[in-house]
Amino acid sequence: MSNAIEVTGVSKTYKNYKLSDVTFGVPKGYITGLIGPNGAGKSTIIKMIMGMVQPDKGSISVLGNVLSPHSGDYKEEIGYVSDENIFYDCITMGRMKQIIAPFYSRWDEDAYTKYMTLFELPERKKIKDCSKGMKMKFSIAMALSYHPSLLIMDEPTAGLDPVFRRELLDLLSEYIMDEEKSILFSTHLTTDLDRVADYITFLNKGNLVLSDTKDDVLERYLLVKGASSLLDADVRKELVGVRETAVGFEGLARERKKAMELFGDRVLYQQPTLEEIMYFTSKGGNQHA
Ligand SMILES: Nc1ncnc2c1ncn2[C@@H]1O[C@H](COP(=O)(O)OP(=O)(O)OP(=O)(O)O)[C@@H](O)[C@H]1O
């Protein structure tokens, strides 16, 4: 299986932040979710992939490294959606489309009309009068209308209502069906990924926590709930994070099999969600409710 994006040993230091030696791939034909709490480095990684930020170390190859971020082809092959408004504010969406469309050889006017109708976007509305969600929808409609082989989206669902979010996720699943297209999208709404992601890359404070298929990630961890008296040093070592309450503890075990050997039938076991994995990993041990 080939990767649409390969990020290899990438580091970047800002004044109060360090992205350390991050390596992961975005497999071709699938949806990869980039998750992590605020400030983890998701946007920084995405901007590096887009050639907007230069890594201090490491390399990034996009679509087999044949494209340079500043070439016209790069723009044609990559659909980039971010929550920063990249359009001119004072003109209408329809006018903006007229300006942008000629730059794309695969521009599909029928697809554009279909998405504008589906997303309920009035072409004659000025961009400055659009809500945050409408601007995001417009950005998505524009990106989908030139059929890029790689769709890179930075927090696309952030300003969207739950009904549209669900429709968008279905649309993304449809988009990759030909197995030629790939999607990378960052989010801290992990429930989006429960629905559609095939792969998960998880960043925390500039470090890569994991990058694997979603099923492997979910199967690796185990949520355990039990009495506080069980919590000794050996037990804590097996837990990625612990949350203690008045009645006991809840912890995320990093290895399912080991946890079951350690606890036997003394605790309750549950399959963690991506949100729980993110919560316990980013908070670490010794949380008190
Ligand atoms: N140009 C910059 N100069 C200095 N620091 C920066 C710059 N860009 C990003 N950072 C810092 O890098 C860290 C990671 O930011 P980034 O926007 O990549 O995180 P994120 O995971 O996308 O977060 P969020 O979910 O809040 O959008 C933050 O601490 C941020 O302040």
Could you tell me the distance, in angstroms and rounded to a whole number, from the CA of residue 235 to the centre of ligand 1? 35
Per the structure, the count of domains in the chain is 2
**Shared-domain flag, residues 169 and 276:** no
ipTM value: 0.96
**How far apart, in whole angstroms, are the C-alpha atoms of residue 289 and residue 269?**
20
To test ligand 1's pocket by mutation, which of 10, 15, 17, 45 has the most ligand atoms within 8 angstroms of CB? 17
Residue 273, number of CB atoms within 10 A of its CB:
15
Query: Do the domain assignments include residue 182?
Result: yes
Only one residue has tokens 């072409």, namely 123
40 close to ligand 1 (CB < 6 Angstrom):
yes
**Nearest ligand 1 atom to alpha carbon 41:** 18
Tens place of pLDDT per residue across the chain (289 aa)? 689 999 999 999 999 999 999 999 999 999 999 999 889 999 999 999 998 899 999 989 898 765 566 666 677 889 999 877 778 889 999 999 999 999 999 999 999 999 999 999 999 999 999 988 899 999 999 999 999 999 999 998 887 888 888 889 999 999 999 888 999 999 988 888 988 999 999 999 999 999 999 999 999 999 999 999 888 888 888 899 999 988 899 999 999 999 999 999 999 999 999 999 999 988 764 455 4
* Closest residue to atom 29 of ligand 1, CA basis: 39
Query: Do the domain assignments include residue 79?
Result: yes
**Shared-domain flag, residues 159 and 65:** yes
Tokens of 144: 């989908």
Cβ contacts of 221 within 8 Å, gap of 6 or more? 240, 252, 253, 254, 256, 272, 277
**How far apart, in whole angstroms, are the C-alpha atoms of residue 116 and residue 145?**
10
Q: How far is CA 128 from the centre of its chain?
A: 27
**Shared-domain flag, residues 129 and 145:** yes
Q: Give the pLDDT confidence score for residue 72 in this predicted structure.
A: 61
* Closest residue to atom 27 of ligand 1, CA basis: 38
Strands 150-154 and 182-187: parallel
**Shared-domain flag, residues 149 and 228:** no
**Shared-domain flag, residues 145 and 129:** yes
Whichever domain contains 51, its CATH number is: 3.40.50.300
Q: Which domain holds residue 252?
A: 221-284
Beta bridge partners of residue 183, listed in sequence order: 31, 151
Query: Do the domain assignments include residue 289?
Result: no
**Shared-domain flag, residues 185 and 108:** yes
**Shared-domain flag, residues 111 and 239:** no
